């Protein structure tokens, strides 16, 4: 059994699946279905609590206990895991057959696929879900007896859907979980439905995600029509066959990775579909931590890692992923620098860090991407929850200009110091977990040969400096300096009319401490990976790159590139020879990156300390000067207004659709309904009204009508005979 600490580095086992012949069918592990069942039980019980108008914390206790049970089950599942992969059948779902051929059957059962990738995800999803639920039990106290049960029911739905997404053994079950987390996100973002901003944010998240979901639906359809299956192990068998069938080399093989990419960009908030995530901060802070920092937004990373084989068949798709990820990271970092709402700053930081993960996938380091997902889950959840504790205690106040010196206030020291640990990890301070996971991506951008990848590497290093600056801008403004505060808009007068901040109690403080410890311990697995083969992207990648001579390898990859495509470390690349390995300042990029990124992070931290701790007046003076200079004033304004992306979407997409919708409404009401439907209906109604007097029942009127009718008929017959219309002679 592999020690637990070496589990994260051994992401070489994170293949989409193993061939059917290698997969282990484990019906005796059906107890693993508790990971899915327990959140459903929690949902039902929370619904009963709502129906019975329970006003205690019972819904929180039920949900936390259920998720803790799911986490324990995940750990036991890891301890019983047999590599390279296991399939655990739960129940038959879809099993259709209408012939004997490959494309004359469709199978998608409710089964679990267990490998290192799914185990990694499910353990931190259920583990963090449990901690955040405990945090929420205290945070959501003001809603006891109102929406308390509804909130925890939504959390239960989310955990069920996320578990289905991660543990599925086929793409259709993954799609079920994919749509489920989108629905749960809509539910929880719009939790405060009485606030128009929350309703608008929920609708925005739902609509933007539907764009990506369409891409996933089309990708699944094309995968089945091209390969004849949606099962991971069967797809892996096809890819592992050595030579691809010529019928698989059509346009669909090229379209599939781009459709999967669209789905990932929507769910994981990348350009151009990132705009929903910052607005999602309208939901309760535990929602921000659980869904929009640690778990749901990483679903796009999981999707690409799980279906990486398709991207290796179309190398251009990986280039696009790398560039979109790098540009998103930079754009979001510049926006975060100019915001004042600390929760929104963390939201843009999430978008930026997700960009790093996509950059890692694009430069062929699935190890770096997955490791950064793991570390980011801890420190970003910690940062969101510390922001939530501040918001909860200061009556909704989130403006970093209106709170200072938190570490000097009684009851707030745990919040301040745990936030510091989260900030150090996010900033990539040397020897922190974020430092190692981010460096694995940055260095690989200089190792992997691709279009402009070196430029992307320097761009990502610059972004890391911006991240260190805006992260510690928050901490130095809010937690350091002299103690002062202004309450937010949710202020309620205390005794004598004075406001007193409410410091977090045991539940919140305990969760913050545990997450801070997790953020520190997450760096340990990096040191457990000291063997070259531990850092390989995976044997399945090697199989795909070193494909059969009949296929000639993957188009666009040279032999040197192939070596770098399957390696994340200097030692692995060294097997191909030192000449084939790029260098950075004369050193191996992985070794050089320790010094480069560490220096950049420290410089960003010191700059933030100078401007927001030691010389706060200087920061205000610089800002005023920038706004007063016509030639540069556009830059801080554009950053503060989020580069006007929302305004651009409104002008180019939303407003034209709104106008078009009203035009169709007018056309439908006055042309379709007014002329075609109502107008035609008025004709028989008018004729009926004209003839209505004839049906009055008066004998004299009926006699006149009969005589007049007979006269008209005789007149018409005479005319017809006169002109020979009856065949007669004139």
336 and 251 within one domain: yes
In a shared domain, residues 308 and 438: yes
**Which H, E and C letters describe 382-443, residue by residue?**
HHHHHHHHHHHHCCCCCECCCEECHHHCCCCHHHHHHHHHHHHHHCCCCCCHHHHHHHHHHH
> Residues 573, 657: one domain?
no
DSSP state of 679: H
**pLDDT above 50 (res 83):** yes
Task: Establish whether the linkage from the previous residue to 66 is cis, with ω within 30° of 0.
Answer: no
- Dump pLDDT digits (tens) for 101-125: 777 888 888 999 998 889 989 999 9
Q: What is the number of domains present in the chain?
A: 2
Q: What is the pLDDT of residue 22?
A: 63
Closest listed residue to residue 590, CA positions, set 521, 532, 648, 510: 532
Give the pair of three-digit tokens for residue 583: 């260098």
User: Do 665 and 566 share a domain, yes or no?
Assistant: no
pLDDT of 187 higher than 70: yes
pLDDT average, residue stretch 685-697: 71
Report which of residues 215 and 632 the model is more confident about: 215
Question: Region 547-559: what's the mean pLDDT?
Answer: 30
The larger pLDDT score, comparing residue 530 to residue 329, is at 329
The answer to whether position 592 is within a domain reads no
Give Cβ neighbours of residue 287 (< 8 Å, ≥ 6 apart): 188, 189, 191, 280
Mean pLDDT calculated for residue range 308-315: 89
Weakest-pLDDT range from 398-412, 616-630, 697-711? 697-711
Q: Using an 8 Å Cβ cutoff, are 238 and 543 in contact?
A: no
- Percentage of residues of the chain with pLDDT beyond 90: 50
Instruction: Say if 471 falls within a structural domain.
Output: yes
Helix (H) or strand (E) holding 372: helix 366-393
* 3 state DSSP class of 583: coil
52, 155: one domain = yes
Q: What gap in Å lies between CA 712 and CA 492, rounded to an integer?
A: 89
65 and 41 Cβ atoms separated by less than 8 Å: no
Q: Is the pLDDT of residue 368 over 90?
A: no
Could you tell me which residue, 388 or 674, shows the higher pLDDT? Answer: 388
- Contact (CB, 8 A) for 518 and 524: no
Q: At 28, is the pLDDT very low, low, confident or very high (cuts 50, 70, 90)?
A: confident
Residue 390's domain comprises: 4-490+501-580
Nearest Cα neighbor of 120 from 260, 265, 12 is 12
193 and 100 both lie in a single domain:
yes
Distance CA 56, CA 148 (A): 9
- Max mean pLDDT among 273-277, 565-569, 689-693, 714-718 falls in 273-277
The secondary structure of residue 268, as a DSSP letter, is T
Pairing mode of beta strands 86-97, 24-25: parallel
527: pLDDT strictly greater than 80: no
Average pLDDT over residues 225-238: 87
Strands 105-114 and 86-97: antiparallel
Q: In what order do the strands lie in the sheet with 105-114?
A: 24-25, 86-97, 105-114
For residue 105, give the H/E element and its range. strand 105-114
Q: Within a domain: residue 627?
A: no
| pLDDT(538) > 50 | no
- Residue 696's pLDDT is 65
Shared domain for 307 and 409, answered yes or no, is yes
Q: Express each pLDDT in 123-151 by its tens digit.
A: 999 999 999 999 999 999 888 878 899 99
How far is residue 502's CA from residue 485's CA, in Å, rounded to a whole number? Answer: 12
Tokens of 507: 């539940």
> CA-to-CA distance for 220 and 216, rounded, in angstroms?
6
Q: Is 396 left (phi over 0), alpha (psi -120 to 50) or beta?
A: left
Q: How do residues 636-664 score in pLDDT, each as one tens digit?
A: 899 999 999 999 999 999 899 999 999 99
What's the whole-number mean pLDDT along residues 313-319?
Answer: 91
The span from the CA of 243 to the CA of 314, in Å, is 16
**Which tokens go with 468?**
């260190």
Q: Is the pLDDT of residue 549 over 50?
A: no
Whether residues 676 and 546 share a domain: the answer is: no
User: Same domain, yes or no, for 88 and 166?
Assistant: yes
Per-residue confidence at 98, pLDDT binned at 50, 70, 90? confident
Span 32-57, mean pLDDT?
A: 93
Q: What is the mean pLDDT of residues 329-348?
A: 94
Rounded Cα gap, residues 667 and 660, in angstroms: 10
Cα distance between residue 110 and residue 97, in whole Å = 17
- Domain termination residue (choose one: 580, 598, 630): 580
Tokens of 86: 């296991």
Residue at 729 is within a domain = no
Q: Is residue 588 part of a domain?
A: no
What pLDDT is recorded for position 585?
A: 81
In this structure, the answer to whether residues 216 and 138 fall within a common structural domain is yes
Give the residue-averaged pLDDT of 552-566: 33
pLDDT at position 558, please?
33
Residue 91 domain-assigned (yes or no): yes
- 78 and 210 in one domain? yes
In a shared domain, residues 159 and 59: yes
Q: Is the pLDDT reported for residue 100 higher than 70?
A: yes
Choose one of 532, 563, 580: the last residue of a domain.
580
Q: What is the pLDDT of residue 547?
A: 30
Average pLDDT, the chain: 83
Last residue of a domain, one of 530, 555, 580: 580
- CB contact set of 504 (below 8 Å; sequence gap of 6+): 138, 389, 392, 393, 411, 412, 414, 415, 512
What pLDDT does 154 receive? 93
Pairwise CA distance, residues 582 & 561, whole Å: 11
Nearest Cα residue to 324 out of 298, 291, 380, 363:
363
| Residue 178: predicted pLDDT | 95
Is 727 a member of any domain?
no
pLDDT at 491: 67
Does residue 610 belong to any structural domain of this protein? no
d(CA 371, CA 693) in angstroms, rounded, equals 87
Q: Is 76 buried (19+), middle (13-18) or exposed (0-12) by CB count in 10 A? A: middle
Residue 580 — very low, low, confident or very high, per pLDDT cuts 50/70/90? low
Percentage above 70 pLDDT, the chain: 85
Query: Residue 694 has what pLDDT?
Result: 65
Q: How far is CA 229 from the centre of its chain?
A: 26
Are 415 and 406 in contact by the 8 Å Cβ rule? The answer is: yes
Residue 549 CA to residue 570 CA, distance in Å, equals 28
The DSSP 8-state label assigned to residue 341 in this structure reads B
As a whole number, mean pLDDT of residues 43-53 equals 93
């Amino acid at each position: 059994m592999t020690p637990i600490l070496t589990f994260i580095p051994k992401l070489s086992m994170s293949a989409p699946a193993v061939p059917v012949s290698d997969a282990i069918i484990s019906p005796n592990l059906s107890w693993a279905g508790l990971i899915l069942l327990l959140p459903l039980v929690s949902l039902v019980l929370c619904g009963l609590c709502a129906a019975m108008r329970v006003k205690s914390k019972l819904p929180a206790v039920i949900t936390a206990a259920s998720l803790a049970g799911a986490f324990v089950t995940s750990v036991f599942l890891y301890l019983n895991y047999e590599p390279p992969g296991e399939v655990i059948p739960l129940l038959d779902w879809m099993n259709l057959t209408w012939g004997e051929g490959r494309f004359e059957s469709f199978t998608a059962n409710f089964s679990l696929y267990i490998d290192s990738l799914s185990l990694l995800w499910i353990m931190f999803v259920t583990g963090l879900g449990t901690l955040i639920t405990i945090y929420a039990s205290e945070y959501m106290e003001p809603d006891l007896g109102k929406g308390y049960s509804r909130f925890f029911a939504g959390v239960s739905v989310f955990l069920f859907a996320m578990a289905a997404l991660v543990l599925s053994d086929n793409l259709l079950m993954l799609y079920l979980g994919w749509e489920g987390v989108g629905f749960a996100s809509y539910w929880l973002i719009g939790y405060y439905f009485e606030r128009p901003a929350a309703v608008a944010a929920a609708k925005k998240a739902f609509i933007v995600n539907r764009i990506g979901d369409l891409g996933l639906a089309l990708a699944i359809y094309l995968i089945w029509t091209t390969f004849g299956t949606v099962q991971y192990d069967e797809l892996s068998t096809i890819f592992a066959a050595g030579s691809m069938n010529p019928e698989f080399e059509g346009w669909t093989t090229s379209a599939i990775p781009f459709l999967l990419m669209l789905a990932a960009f929507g769910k994981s908030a990348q350009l151009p579909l990132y705009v929903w995530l910052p607005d999602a901060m309208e939901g309760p802070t535990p929602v921000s931590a659980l869904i929009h920092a640690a778990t749901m937004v990483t679903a796009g990373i999981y999707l690409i890692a799980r279906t990486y084989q398709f991207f290796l068949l179309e190398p251009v798709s990986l280039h696009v992923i790398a560039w979109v990820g790098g540009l998103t990271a930079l754009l979001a970092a510049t926006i975060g620098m100019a915001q004042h709402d600390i929760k929104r700053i963390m939201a843009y930081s999430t978008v930026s860090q997700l960009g790093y993960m996509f950059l890692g996938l694009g430069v062929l380091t699935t190890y770096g991407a997955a490791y950064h997902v793991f570390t980011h889950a801890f420190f970003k959840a910690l940062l969101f929850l510390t922001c939530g504790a501040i918001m909860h205690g200061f009556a909704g106040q989130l403006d970093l200009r209106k709170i200072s010196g938190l570490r000097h206030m009684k009851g707030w020291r745990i919040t301040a110091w745990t936030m510091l640990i989260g900030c150090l990890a996010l900033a990539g301070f040397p020897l922190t977990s974020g430092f190692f996971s981010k460096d694995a991506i940055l260095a690989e951008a200089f190792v992997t040969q691709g279009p402009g990848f070196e430029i992307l590497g320097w761009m990502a290093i610059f972004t890391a400096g911006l991240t260190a600056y805006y992260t510690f801008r928050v901490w130095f403004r809010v937690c350091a300096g002299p103690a002062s505060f202004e309450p937010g808009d949710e202020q309620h007068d205390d005794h004598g009319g004075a406001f007193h901040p409410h410091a977090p109690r045991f539940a919140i403080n305990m969760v913050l401490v545990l997450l801070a410890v997790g953020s520190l311990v997450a760096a340990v697995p990096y040191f457990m990976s000291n063997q070259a083969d531990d850092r390989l992207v995976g044997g399945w990648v090697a199989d795909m790159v070193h494909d059969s001579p009949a296929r000639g390898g993957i188009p666009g990859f040279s032999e040197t590139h192939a070596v770098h495509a399957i390696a994340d470390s200097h030692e692995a690349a060294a097997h191909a020879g030192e000449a084939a390995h790029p260098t950075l300042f004369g050193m191996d990029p992985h070794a050089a990156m320790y010094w480069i990124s560490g220096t950049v992070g420290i410089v960003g931290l010191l700059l933030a300390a100078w401007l927001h701790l030691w010389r706060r007046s200087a920061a205000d003076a610089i800002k005023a000067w920038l706004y007063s200079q016509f030639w540069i004033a556009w830059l801080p304004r554009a950053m503060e207004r989020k580069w006007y992306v929302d305004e651009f979407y409104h002008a180019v997409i939303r407003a034209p659709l709104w106008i078009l919708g009203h035009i169709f409404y007018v056309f439908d009401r006055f042309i379709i309904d007014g002329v075609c439907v109502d107008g035609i209906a008025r004709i028989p109604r008018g004729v009926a009204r004209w003839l209505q007097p004839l049906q009055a029942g008066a004998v004299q009127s009926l006699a006149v009508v009969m005589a007049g009718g007979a006269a008209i008929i005789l007149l018409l017959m005479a005319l017809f005979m006169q002109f020979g219309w009856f065949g007669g002679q004139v």
